Copies of this chain bind each other. A is one copy, B any other.
Amino acid sequence: VKTTLKDVAALSGVHPSTVSRVLRGKESLQISQATRHKIFSAAKKLDYQPNQTARALRLKKSQTIGLVIPNIGSPYFAGIAKILDEESSKAGYTLIVCDTNENQKKEINAVNDLRGRGVDGLIIAPVQDTDEQIKDLVEKNFPLVLIDRFYDDFKTNAIVCNDEDSAYLAVSKLGELGHHRIGFICGRPNVYPVMRRIAGYKRAVLEHHLDLDPDLSSAGDQSLESGYHSAKKLFSLTSPPSALLLSGTIITIGVFKAIIEKNLSIPENISIIGFTDTIFAPYLRQPISTIHHQVKRIGHEAFKLLFKILKSDQPKEPETIIVKNLMIDRGSVGAYSQNQSTGQKRGKEKLKIG
């Protein structure tokens, strides 16, 4: 029981096509004030809302942008989504968000679905188990901007952060403070930013002649439990790390839990630098020094780039924009000394996971 152009036309005694012209504000040209007025009041009276579906079918564009992310529950992606929603609606687009839960199959479905819905463009943080679908989109010149994640072997429009540099800087700093066994805990390791962090970590370790021990790195998934278990594993090494680089907010919380259970204090017993800042980071039991991703800028840049693509007729060269991270010092890093976690007598360990 929705009112259509025809209804408005009937009520105002003109042809539907005229209504269409008037309502879309083709005011540039030829419409008599009389009919114009009739039509507007009829439309208002009937509370006419154009059927976007029909419009989209006709125009082959939907004024819609698809956002495909691995986890809307993460403050990082939620923050990006918020900006994108804001920018989109400001520009007359509607944003459709799909959560893939880091599942490649869900991503493929989501992208297909969105394409079937005729989205005008896509912003994707891909799962990166495969690259086929993304490659395909690129080849077909479909308007696409990648965020957070990236492929080294083909060019795409993308917004990325300088995580390798940040990891390198962080580990170097730890090295300069005398730490030589530095741990690295992360989630899914095959994702671009994590690979970059690993690269930066290694580069710094080599350059500063720190211990390059595979046991010092532990990967898992993006869950609290994963971080918790990784930390416990590292702590139980014969020669445990005296400092940790953590990849991911939730991971950090898991590590935190392990640190608390082990009665370690930061930074006296263990130094910590975490990737991805949150509003909570300053207020944690021990404030954490973090590598801060400029979430808002990432969102803005992603929209700006996609918008540019949508507005230009010629296909353009892919563009990669780097949004630099900020280093935030909150005192969770200290100089290496004897009473590091190595020598630390263990507190009563609670083995339960909450």
Contact = CB atoms under 8 A, between A and B. Distances in A.
A114 B89 CA distance: 12
A279 B250 contact: yes
A78 B283 CA distance: 21
Interface stretch (A15-23, A29-37, A79-87, A267-275): A79-87
Interface residues of A, number: 55
Interface string A305-319: 000000000000000
Contacts of A112: 49
A190 interface: no
A260 B154 CA distance: 50
Contact of A52 (B49, B72, B116): B116
A302 interface: no
A300 interface: no
A342 interface: no
A158 interface: no
A50 B86 contact: no
A351 interface: no
B99 A82 contact: yes
Interface string A84-99: 0110010000111111
A279 B224 contact: yes
A89 B100 CA distance: 10
A239 interface: no
Nearest to A116: B52
A265 interface: no
A260 to B, nearest CB: 8
A109 interface: yes
A113 interface: yes
B82 A110 contact: no
Contacts of A1: 140
A256 interface: yes
A71 B110 CA distance: 23
